[in-house]
Amino acid sequence: MITNTARAFWIDRPGKGVIREESLPEPAGGEVRVRTLYSAVSRGTESLVFQGKVPQSQWQAMRAPFQGGFFPAPLKYGYINIGVVEDGALPAGTPIFCLYPHQDRYVVPADAVTPLPDSLPPERAVLAANMETAINGLWDAAPLVGDRIAVIGAGVVGCLVAFLASRLPGAKVELIDIDPAKAAIAEALGIPFALTRDATREADIVIHASGNPMGLQSALTFAAYEATVLEMSWYGSTLVPLPLGEEFHSKRLILKSSQVGGISPARRARRCYADRMALALSLLADDRLDALITGESPFEELPDLMPTLASNPAGTLCHRIRY
């Protein structure tokens, strides 16, 4: 029996989450009702949101497509949701991805969901938003055949960037992290790994995705003459000190930002958001990527789980939420 209510995870106040019941409308023309199978916590952005660390100047820019409430709280936030269509403008039973918060059932326009390819298990599709970020980052970095590419930060985004970059003919890709335990993830993905102190210098492109300001400082030292350093981390209200008085000018380095909210200028004229998402889903059809999902919990435990994921993740990469 289909009910007219849903359960959703809300940030009641910074650092405190609750599950609330809310009404669920019937789908109108052109809409679908979705039953969630899985969601996942985007540990970088969602951790900052959960802790109330989104600067007021970024409240509008950081709105999620189906966000409920307002920064800093109460707030319903998230954008990794895998579900199955129950009713509406698409066939019942269609598995889909949607940029929707953590909620067990919801109604959205049909064009807001993307059907999953037959080759992609729903369990792995929770990596779609991170893969989309990785694609946009590589469009921004614009690596060439034979480039030496250093990727700093073996989190989900960093691993996906390195995984995609390693497919470029002749490219020498190195995944770099301060945690020696991340070597096992790199090995599972078939990517060379190095601790920060042992990393190769003189990279043509350095991509920073660790979320730690110290990682960006290291990125400047790994870059070769006239290399590009691409910053993919977002720090919220945290200040980032950089040693720009050292080699930054003499090496004529380029420091460039990348953010998934806008399609890279390198592809903006020829790709839309739907194109980018479809590409992301197709690139997830590789069993090795299951190594990036390091845990799973039932939806009911999310209020108790979020404080730990936000402040002390202890080696967690993608943590999947089961409904």
Digit-coded pLDDT (tens) for 273-283: 999 999 999 99
Q: Where in the chain is the domain with CATH 3.40.50.720?
A: 130-257
Could you give the percent of the chain with pLDDT greater than 90? Answer: 91
Instruction: Evaluate the CA torsion angle 109, 43, 58, 151 in order and state its sign.
Output: negative
Q: Is the pLDDT of residue 3 over 80?
A: no
Instruction: Tell me the whole-structure pTM to 2 decimals.
Output: 0.93
3-state SS class at 110: helix
pLDDT at 72 over 60: yes
- C-alpha angle 107-72-130 in degrees, rounded to nearest 5: 60
Range 251-269 average pLDDT: 95
On the question of pLDDT at 34 being above 90, the answer is yes
CATH number for the domain running over 130-257? 3.40.50.720
For CA atoms 126, 132, 137, 139, the dihedral sign is positive
How many angstroms separate the CA atoms of 320 and 299, rounded? 9
CA distance 263 to 113: 18
pLDDT in tens, 46-56: 999 999 999 99
Domain 5-124+284-322 top-level CATH class: alpha beta
List the structure tokens of 200.
């190769």
pLDDT (mean) for 6-15 = 97
CA–CA gap between residue 116 and residue 121 (Å, rounded): 8
In the chain, CATH 3.90.180.10 covers 5-124+284-322
Band (pLDDT 50/70/90 cuts) for residue 1 is low
What is the tens place of the pLDDT at every residue in 97-117?
999 999 999 999 999 999 999
Extract the tokens encoding 93: 């039973």
Q: What pLDDT shows up at residue 267?
A: 95
Q: What confidence tens digit (pLDDT) does each residue in 263-320 have?
A: 999 999 999 999 999 999 999 999 999 999 999 999 999 999 999 998 877 788 999 9
Answer whether residue 178 shows pLDDT above 90.
Answer: yes
Amino acid letter, 257: S
Asked if residue 2 has pLDDT above 70, the reply is no
> Do 162 and 287 form a contact (C-beta atoms < 8 A)?
no
Kindly state the tokens that stand for 275: 């194109």
